[in-house]
Amino acid sequence: MWWLQAAQAWLPTIAVGVMAALAFVATLAQAPRAAKLPWIATVLVCGVLATAASAWQQSRELEQLRELSSHLNALARLLPGAPPANPEQTVDSLTSSLYTLNSRIGELQAQIDVLREKAKTRSIDSDTAKKLEDYLRPFGSHRVVVSCVPGDPEAFTYANQITNILRNAGWDAHGPETTAIFGDAPAMGIRLFVRSGVAPDTAKVLLDAFSRFDIPYKSGTTSNDMIPDNTTVELFVSHKP
């Protein structure tokens, strides 16, 4: 909890102050003698100096925390979509600074995790690709057009891999082509488009294959009259979410 962290941060200064006060009280409680006054002065001066030194150390730590906060805010500005710095989250005291900085670090870590996930590219590992080719090969040659959303290298690379798998399985695969006719809404899975009417057997074979080998896809098919004939299936890869 933030208040416990703050108490721990100020504990050295509090301890020095308490010890100085106890030493001062103990000196006052001694029987009167000639050396008592110098002892009182010495204890008082040492206590004040020790407390001041501890407080100075705390101020140095606070300044370092302010600098760290500044670096974190600079880092946040470099991360796309990172939450902006909250003007109420200021490093004004050790009581609030530890809690504020921990919260900020947590926010940035979450944003970095999101960016790492987005940076991952879609792909089919070599072992799964080989199994998929072996599964599709006995069905003979089927005409498939593979396309992807324009201006997205990740989607194009994934579409190209799918095209190569189909070709290696002996299918009549074309592409990858870029097209905007299917929209650009982000989607993790492959979408299947067929011409209006009854979906060809090719679509069912592909859907079964994607399901069998855990390849992300959108269930079912979508009709679109831009498909050239009733035997062709178009596989479309959109932006990665």
Comparison of pLDDT for 153 and 34, the residue scoring more? 153
DSSP string of 165-197?
HHHHTT-EEEEEEE-STT-----SSEEEEE-SS
Omega of the bond prior to 83 within 30 degrees of 0, cis? no
Given the structure tokens 């103990």, which residue do they identify?
Answer: 26
Shared-domain flag, residues 109 and 165: no
Question: In the listed set 57, 86, 118, which residue is the last one of a domain according to the structure?
Answer: 118
Mean pLDDT of 142-162: 96
Q: Are 172 and 143 in contact (CB under 8 A)?
A: yes
| Predicted local distance difference test score (pLDDT) of residue 180 | 93
124: tokens are 């089919």
CA atoms within 13 A on the CB side of 169: 29
Rg (CA), the chain: 35
| Predicted local distance difference test score (pLDDT) of residue 177 | 95
Shared-domain flag, residues 99 and 9: yes
* Mean pLDDT score of the chain: 77
Answer yes or no: pTM beyond 0.85: no
Question: In the listed set 101, 118, 135, which residue is the last one of a domain according to the structure?
Answer: 118
222: tokens are 């979508």
pLDDT digits (tens, 9 = 90+) for 36-45: 556 556 656 6
67: tokens are 């600098």
Task: Give how far Cα 167 sits from Cα of 36, 107, 163, 175, Å.
Answer: 100, 45, 6, 10
Question: In the listed set 88, 118, 148, which residue is the last one of a domain according to the structure?
Answer: 118
Number of domains in the chain: 2
Shared-domain flag, residues 27 and 82: yes
In what helix (H) or strand (E) does residue 81 lie, and over which residues does it extend?
Answer: none
Shared-domain flag, residues 73 and 152: no
pLDDT at 82 over 60: no
Domain that holds residue 139: 126-237
Given the structure tokens 């079912």, which residue do they identify?
Answer: 220
pLDDT digits (tens, 9 = 90+) for 111-139: 766 666 666 789 999 999 999 999 999 99
Shared-domain flag, residues 48 and 112: yes
Shared-domain flag, residues 112 and 139: no
